Every structure is written in structure tokens, then in C-alpha cells.
Amino acid sequence: MIRPIINNVSVDCVIFGFDNTSLNVLLTKRELTDPESGEILLQDYTMQGHHVLEDENLDDAAKRVLKDKTGLENIFLKQFHTFGDTDRLLKEKDQLWIKTKFPMVLNHVITVAYYSLVDSAKIKPDQQHLDTKWFPVNELPALGFDHERIIMMALDYLRDEIRREPIGFELLPEKFTLTQLQNLYEVILNTSLDRRNFRKKVAHMKYVIPLDEKQKGVAHKPAQVFIFSRDVYDRTKKEKLDFSI
């Protein structure tokens, strides 16, 4: 059964992954070549997105895009902003792309943007589309449409959220070391944290549980591994009523 699309509304997903040294975004290559000369007319990257279907809720559209592009289900996904500037598809290269590939698309498309957090090791090469790859957020390639703006805003939301909610764990493997956890915070917040203070802080987090188990596959001094429990977090968090402005 063909499910018709809403041709002026889309969802886009900023998929963040962490590889222990950088925070990355999953992007898909966009390329146009001249059918006669073979000359490359356009080559850049875009995020994963698609039009919303007529009988589809927004969140379901975002989940569908994620599953199509990464094979993953039930991963962290949060709507953060909707972009609808009238000029967002009007750059010359974007118009060339649309007119060649998607002549039915309108010039004013409103996109509901989500960001997603994944353990990048979970996206195995064979699950990736051929031209999809990770880029560090601070070394983005040329991007289509307003996708650079969308990614930068997603990063602002992520930085804000990670200071208040334990969402960083979504970017780590199930079992992680404290060094990995510290790296994650340092990379996302773009700062360096004192190792001793960091460990003291984590020791007070009842929801970061040490296991009687060490890291595997490392040559020297394997470190202790930990798991994060959302159950424990939800049941022990204190409502902060105070305002900190």
C-alpha cells in the first residue's frame, strides 16, 4: 500500500554518535552528475530526513527515518525545533537538486527537527547506506539546505540537556569505564574536567553502578566497568525547586 506524503512537511534527524574522541553526526552524501559529460554538478552532505506521511504522527515519522537510515529502533530521539523559513530551500544548489530529483517538492517546506543519540558502534557498516558516514561536529563537510544551522542548534540543545539530564549514557556502550564517561562530557561540553572531582561526582550518582568486571580487549590495566540505570535515576532524583538564575 502506498502511503501518500505531506509534501510541505518533513522531519529531519540529527543523529549524534560518540567514538571516544569526538562527537559525530551521521550524514548522507548528495551528488548530482551531468548525465552527458559525467561532470559533478553538486556534491555535499545532508542529514537523514523524509516527508511526513498523511496518516503518520510526527514522532512516528522521525522513528521511521531513523530505522530506515540506521536499522535502529527504540533509541533516544527528541524533537527540539521546527524550521520553516521561506528561503530554506532556495539556495541555487538546493534548487538544482530538488528540480532534478524531487520535482514535486514545494519551495516552502517546514521541517520538524529531532536529535538522536546512539552508541555509534551499534551502526555497523553493512547497516549503513553506501554513502552515509560519520563526521565530527567540529569538522562538518559542505551541507545542503539549512542543515548546518539545524545541526548547530541541535548541538546547543544537547549541551544544555546533558547538564541537566543523564542522556549522555545513550552515547556510550552499555558497559563503560569512567574514562569513557569523562571523555564524553569533555567532548560534548568542549572543556576539560578534573579527574578526581569528576570521579567524586560520579561516586555520588547512585544510578551509575560499578560492576565486578573489567574492560575487555585492552592490553594493559583494564579498568572497572559501569552501567547506567535509568530506573535508579528516576527513583532517586531530587526535584530541584530552587532557581539558579
Which residues of the chain form contacts with a second copy (CB under 8 A)? 6, 8-9, 52, 54-58, 79, 81-86, 108, 110, 112, 162-166, 185, 189, 191, 205, 240-245
Q: What three-state secondary structure class fits 87?
A: coil
Output 144 or 168, the one with its CB closest to a second copy.
168
Helix (H, G, I), strand (E, B) or coil at 66: helix
Nearer Cβ to a second copy, position 21 or 191? 191
Closest CB 151 distance from a second copy, rounded Å: 18
Of the pair 78, 133, the CB lying nearest a second copy is at 78
Shortest distance in whole angstroms from residue 224 CB to a second copy: 21
8 close to 108: Cβ distance less than 8 angstroms: yes
- Minimum CB separation of residue 127 from a second copy in Å reads 28
Residue 55 or 126: the one with the smaller Cβ distance to a second copy is 55
We find the least distance from the C-beta atom of residue 52 to a second copy, in angstroms, to be: 7
Return the number of the residue (99 or 159) whose C-beta is nearest a second copy: 159
Q: Which long-range contacts (CB under 8 A, 24 or more apart) does 24-27 make?
A: 24/120, 24/134, 24/135, 24/136, 24/137, 25/134, 25/135, 25/137, 25/140, 25/151, 26/69, 26/70, 26/123, 26/132, 26/133, 26/134, 27/132, 27/133, 27/134, 27/135, 27/140, 27/141, 27/143
CB of 245 to a second copy, least distance (A): 5
